Structures are given as structure tokens and as C-alpha cells.
């Protein structure tokens, strides 16, 4: 009886250790396992601009590969980079390029240098309410709306009568400071030495920006062109007053004429291997890039 209990104890111990070993991270392969279905898990986190695209990739890829599950979450580019630095994700999504200091921290903390992949392009559109009579704007005008000590605070400063906005005061919609979109838009308008004026309405996600503008006649804001709805209008943008105006669309991004366009990035810790590499290869393939275009972004295959 004593030996029988010992045998049962040993068997149960082996079973528990096997389960435990299944759910922990395999640090040598750079992937997570243990969703109960025998699938490998790729953890993917970051940019809110890219979150819809990343979720679409993950959902479709699950139909391509029955051995992998991709877990996607947003939170902003800064959140994705922080997770990369901490070694808690396999792939970080960024709508801005990783900073040298961040790359250094990730390498020091994990022993692996972040590897950059450009996975598509995005035009950062400037949105107003659909009934706003404004149709075009320049980078200097946007800088005067958003920048410190800016002089454009009312719609009549832009030479229009925005009848839907009784106060005529421009409501600036922006993103939170951990957003790659915030970082990119600020630098595109103001350079590296000037900051945004305080008092904007700072929202968490790209979709939120467009939804608020669609309900607010006085508002102006910025978000990816893929988030456009019937309730908003995307303005044509010129680099300076004496330059042509261009709409945020696929053709103008490809031609490099729209002035607020940017790459979309994914970062892995070290050269990706195994399932993570297969997933990134698929994203960069024609099949993965078709999803980029379907969701309103610009695929690599267009360039």
C-alpha cells in the first residue's frame, strides 16, 4: 500500500511539472506556450494606430496556422516598447521608430537587440467634422493651432465661418504622450525643440479621436487615414503656403507627396526564430500585405 501511494505521488508530481513546464515561457525560442490547446502563443503589443491591423493579421493567421495563437493588445507605441524592454512580448507594434535609448535599454535588459521590420505605411490624416467648411490646411497653420504660443485659436483665424461651432473656438483633439502617433505628429509639425500647447483633449486611441471629432463641430484632430468615417472630413495638407495640397490617400503616400506619412513598424527581440519568424514572414508576404490595404493603410507591395 505504501509503495502504491509512492508511485501515485511520483506520477502526479511528474504530471504537475509537465504542465508547469508547458505554460512557462521558453526563453530560448522567443515564444510563449500554454493556451490549453497545444498551440504556441506569440505575444504582440503596442500601437493603437496598428491595433485593428494587428488583430486582423492575428485572426486570419490563425486560419493559416493551426499551431500558433497570436495575442494582440494595444496601449500605445510606448507601451509596446516598454514591454519589449522588459522582455514580456515577442513583437512590439510601433507607429514611430524606436529611440536609440530604448534600443539600448532593451539590449541591456534582455541581452537581445531589437530588430526592426517595416510592415506598411500610413498617412496621418487631419480630421474635422464633416460639416466644417474647411477643406485644406498647411503644416505652418497646424503648428500654429497645436504648438506652444500658437496664434490660431478660432476658426475665423483660418478665414472660414464654421456655423456649427457657436463659440468659434477651435477644440484641439490630440493623443496621449505614450502614443507613437502623438510623437510623430508633434515632430512633423514642430520639430524637436517645440512642444504642444497645453489644453488639448488627449485621447487614448485612434478610433476615439475620429469618433469625438464626428460629434464635435468645433474640433480638429489627427489619426490614421484608415479610421475615417462618414461623420468626418480629411483635409488636404500642404507643406507650406506656396506648395500644392495633397489628400491623405494611397496614391499620394506611394508618390511621397502627402507630407504627413510614416512607416509602421514591428520590433522583435533579436533576430526572430521559429513561429515568430514565420508570422513576420507571413505579414510581409503578399497575403499579409493585402490585409494592410484592406484596412486603409498602404502596403509595402505598392512601393
| Whole-number Å distance between alpha carbons of 267 and 271 | 10
pLDDT the model gives residue 34: 47
Angstrom distance (rounded) from CA 112 to CA 97: 18
The pLDDT of residue 79 is: 94
**Which pLDDT score, from 0 to 100, does residue 105 have?**
97
Residues 142, 90: Cα–Cα separation, whole Å: 37
pLDDT score at 38: 64
SS3 3: helix
CB 70, CB 91: distance < 8 Å: no
pLDDT of residue 63: 84
pLDDT in tens, the chain (303 residues): 444 554 444 334 444 334 333 333 333 334 454 445 567 899 999 999 999 999 999 999 988 888 899 999 998 999 999 999 999 999 999 999 999 999 999 999 999 999 999 999 999 999 999 999 999 999 999 999 999 999 999 999 999 999 999 999 999 999 998 898 999 999 999 998 899 999 999 998 889 999 999 999 999 999 999 899 999 999 999 999 999 999 999 999 999 999 999 999 999 999 999 999 999 999 999 999 999 999 989 999 765
**Residues 234 and 240 sit within 8 Å (Cβ to Cβ):** no
Cβ 270 vs Cβ 103: under 8 Å: no
pLDDT of residue 192: 85
Query: Beta 232-234 vs 201-203: how paired, if at all?
Result: unpaired
Going along the chain from its start, the domains and CATH numbers come out as 2-121+263-302 (3.40.190.10), 122-261 (3.40.190.10)
Q: What is the pLDDT of residue 10?
A: 39
- Rounded to whole angstroms, how far apart are CA atoms 108 and 269? 12
Which residues make beta-bridge pairs with 266? 93, 117
**Cα 57 to Cα 166: distance, rounded to the nearest angstrom:** 43
Amino acid at each position: 500500500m505504501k509503495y502504491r501511494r509512492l508511485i501515485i505521488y511520483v506520477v502526479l508530481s511528474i504530471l504537475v511539472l509537465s504542465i508547469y513546464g508547458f505554460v512557462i515561457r521558453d526563453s530560448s525560442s522567443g515564444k510563449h506556450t500554454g493556451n490549453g490547446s497545444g498551440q504556441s502563443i506569440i505575444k504582440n503589443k503596442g500601437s493603437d494606430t496598428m491595433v485593428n491591423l494587428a488583430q486582423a493579421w492575428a485572426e486570419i493567421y490563425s486560419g493559416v496556422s493551426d499551431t500558433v495563437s497570436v495575442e494582440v493588445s494595444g496601449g500605445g507605441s510606448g507601451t509596446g516598447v516598454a514591454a519589449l524592454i522588459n522582455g514580456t512580448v515577442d513583437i512590439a507594434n510601433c507607429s514611430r521608430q524606436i529611440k536609440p535609448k530604448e534600443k539600448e535599454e532593451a539590449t541591456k535588459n534582455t541581452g537581445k537587440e531589437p530588430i526592426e521590420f517595416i510592415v506598411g505605411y500610413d498617412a496621418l490624416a487631419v480630421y474635422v467634422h464633416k460639416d466644417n467648411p474647411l477643406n485644406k490646411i498647411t503644416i505652418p497653420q497646424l503648428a500654429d493651432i497645436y504648438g506652444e504660443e500658437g496664434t490660431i485659436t478660432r476658426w475665423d483665424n483660418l478665414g472660414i465661418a464654421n456655423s456649427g461651432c457657436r463659440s468659434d473656438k477651435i477644440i484641439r483633439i490630440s493623443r496621449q504622450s505614450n502614443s507613437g502617433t502623438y510623437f510623430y505628429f508633434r515632430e512633423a509639425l514642430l520639430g524637436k525643440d517645440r512642444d504642444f500647447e497645453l489644453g488639448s483633449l488627449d485621447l487614448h486611441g485612434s478610433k476615439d479621436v475620429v469618433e469625438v471629432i464626428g460629434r464635435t463641430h468645433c474640433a480638429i484632430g489627427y489619426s490614421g487615414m484608415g479610421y475615417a468615417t462618414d461623420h468626418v472630413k480629411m483635409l488636404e495638407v500642404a507643406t507650406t503656403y506656396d506648395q500644392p495640397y495633397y489628400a491623405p490617400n494611397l496614391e499620394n503616400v506611394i508618390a511621397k507627396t502627402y507630407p504627413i506619412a510614416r512607416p509602421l513598424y514591428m520590433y522583435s527581440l533579436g533576430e526572430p526564430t521559429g513561429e515568430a519568424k514565420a508570422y513576420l514572414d507571413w505579414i510581409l508576404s503578399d497575403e499579409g500585405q493585402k490585409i494592410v490595404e484592406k484596412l486603409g493603410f498602404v502596403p509595402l507591395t505598392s512601393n
